[in-house]
Amino acid sequence: MLKVNNLCAGYGKVQVLWNISLEVKDGQVVAVLGSNGAGKTTTVRTITGMVKASSGSVIFNGEELADRSSRFILDQGIIQVPEGRQLFTGMTVYENLEMGAYSKEAKAKFAETEEFVYEAFPKLKERRKQITGTLSGGEQQMVAVARALAGLPKLLILDEPSLGLAPNIVDDILEIAVHLAREKNIGILLVEQDITKALAVSDYGYVIENGHVVLEQTAEELEKNEHVKKAYLGI
């Protein structure tokens, strides 16, 4: 599905990423782990075309994306739930979901997708006519995930989904992510500071420090890794 090879990128003359390589397969949950400022979000922004790579490749289902526009990448089925949600807060929940169904296929299947979303997040069905900006932080994050699902993603990128949310809300969102991977065969790229929660739902993980991948292992191996324990889990 997704193969990132030796990706380098940054902002202006400041290089942030150094030869980042990672892979996400169909139906797999892959975590990108690291502290704040490690380069996780820049990695995602480069994959989605919001930051241009200076070198390296981003291959998705055989297509090279490193030099393509964000819209082209979106049309290939890579959809991101951004850090901070970035919702249309003056619109209703339903209208936000409609905005996510941008493609012809997504529009045609919107009624079916909407029903699936409401089964996953029952609170959103209750609040479908409510202005999104009046919802709680957790409910808004649900809307952000639901809006992404309305676009029928082949690869769903979750950027810091736990940020500022109660643990039970985070658990619900991550449970949905696992369901999508297992039942819908969607690839999930999970970018997260909360390593404990991320590893609990992931198949594989990459640890980024100072713009470099310093470690990659199965989630089970990372949970037992001494470097991870000391640097991120305080053990």
pLDDT, residue 235, reads 67
Distance CA 234, CA 122 (A): 36
- What interhelical angle do 137-150 and 167-184 show, nearest 10? 10
pLDDT, residue 193, reads 81
pLDDT tier at 83, thresholds 50, 70, 90: confident
Residue 216 has pLDDT above 70, yes or no: yes
Distance CA 159, CA 62 (A): 24
Q: pLDDT, tens digit, for every residue of 51-67?
A: 999 999 999 999 999 98
Distance CA 184, CA 152 (A): 10
Q: pLDDT, tens digit, for every residue of 24-36?
A: 999 999 999 998 8
pLDDT mean across residues, the chain: 92
pLDDT, residue 79, reads 94
Pairing of strands 204-209, 29-33: parallel
Instruction: Find where tokens 């003056």 sit.
Output: 90
Distance CA 226, CA 104 (A): 48
Distance CA 133, CA 137 (A): 9
CB-neighbour burial class of residue 102 (10 A; exposed 0-12, middle 13-18, buried 19+): middle
Provide the residue type at 219 as one letter. A
DSSP 8-state secondary structure symbol assigned to residue 133: G
Distance CA 106, CA 115 (A): 13
Residue 161 has pLDDT above 90, yes or no: no
pLDDT, residue 138, reads 87
* Best mean pLDDT range from 25-29, 80-84, 115-119, 167-171: 25-29
Q: Which domains does the chain have, with CATH numbers?
A: 2-77+153-233 (3.40.50.300), 89-151 (no CATH)
Distance CA 14, CA 121 (A): 41
Residue 233 has pLDDT above 80, yes or no: no
Distance CA 77, CA 106 (A): 11
DSSP lists the bridge partners of residue 157 as 80, 189
